[in-house]
Amino acid sequence: MATAKPKKPDYWAQATKHLAKADPALARLIKTYKGEMLMSRGSAFFSLARAIVGQQISVKAAESIWNRLAAMLVEVMPQSILDADTQSLRECGLSGQKVIYLKELSQFFATRSRHNWHRKTDAEVITDLISIKGIGKWSAEMFLIFHLLRPDIFPIADLGLRKGIERIYNKGEKMTVEEMIALSERWKPYRTVATWYLWRALDPVAVEY
């Protein structure tokens, strides 16, 4: 699909400085991945469609499915998904449920042209998005991170984030959600940036929605 010019978070330099000072482990990750950062594609539909494709599968698997979808549709747009038949979408690697979700998302964008998400709080955006079938809190949080570039999102239900925290801070051993949330307090108000580095350390393919 046609994509807008990628946008960089204007807080990234300040955030990395804050996190490096607050957390030695993150300081090492920031140094390791110097020059890399979160980028927004500028398309709300793109971010949400990618989030649906990426639900409950690895970053690598999601990338493969998305590439097949993009090749089949030529342009991943609401109308192109609405026009595509279920079997063709399933052949890209999508589950039947995700096909339904993508159709619902496409219908939402096809019938609503204005959303004003940039003017809404994080909580308001989540409430608005979860009204769309197939968009839960995790997908809404991915949207807040990757489309709106909100600085302090901590998607604790994300398996990759949890694995990253356990690997970096507990030698791969299990940690409770409460322990992870307590750990994240030192990263405020830039938990989005900390999350991005923890994802980056876990997977050779940069997370992108």
Q: At what angle do helices 191-202 and 24-32 cross, to 10 degrees?
A: 60
The mean predicted confidence, pLDDT, of the chain is: 92
pLDDT score, position 1: 39
Looking at the fold, whether 30 and 55 belong to one and the same domain comes out as no
* Confidence (pLDDT) at 115: 82
Percent over 70 (pLDDT), the chain: 96
Closest Cα to residue 54, out of 136, 168, 148?
A: 136
- The reply to whether 167 falls in a domain is yes
Residues in the chain, total: 209
CATH code for position 125: 1.10.340.30
Rounded Cα–Cα distance for residues 96 and 85 (Å): 12
- Let me know whether 102 and 63 are in one domain: yes
Give the pTM. 0.89
pLDDT tier for residue 2 given thresholds of 50, 70 and 90: very low
- Residue 4 is assigned to a structural domain of this protein: no
Does any domain span residue 1?
no
Residue 198 resides in a domain: yes
pLDDT in tens, 161-209: 999 999 999 999 999 999 999 999 999 999 999 999 999 988 766 777 8
In a domain, 7, yes or no: no
Q: Which of 118, 209, 100 is nearest to 158 (CA)?
A: 209
Claim to verify: residue 138 and residue 158 sit in the same structural domain: no
User: How many distinct structural domains can be found in the chain?
Assistant: 2
The CATH number of the domain holding residue 190 is 1.10.1670.40
User: If you average pLDDT over residues 41-68, what whole number do you get?
Assistant: 90
Residues 55 and 129 in one domain: yes
Q: What does the pLDDT read at residue 60?
A: 87
Same-domain pairing of 126 and 69: yes
pLDDT tens for each residue of 119-173: 999 999 999 999 999 999 999 999 999 999 999 999 999 999 999 999 999 999 9
What share of the chain has pLDDT > 90, as a percent? 82
Q: Is 134 helix (H, G, I), strand (E, B) or coil?
A: coil
Does 74 map to a domain?
A: yes
Q: Do both 140 and 82 map to the same domain?
A: yes
Same domain, 176 and 116: no
Q: Which domain holds residue 167?
A: 12-37+153-202
Which residue among 119, 146, 173 closes a domain? 146
Q: Is residue 3 part of a domain?
A: no
Region 89-94: what's the mean pLDDT?
97
114 and 96 housed in the same domain:
yes
User: Is 121 in the same domain as 170?
Assistant: no
Task: Return d(Cα 11, Cα 147) in angstroms, integer.
Answer: 15
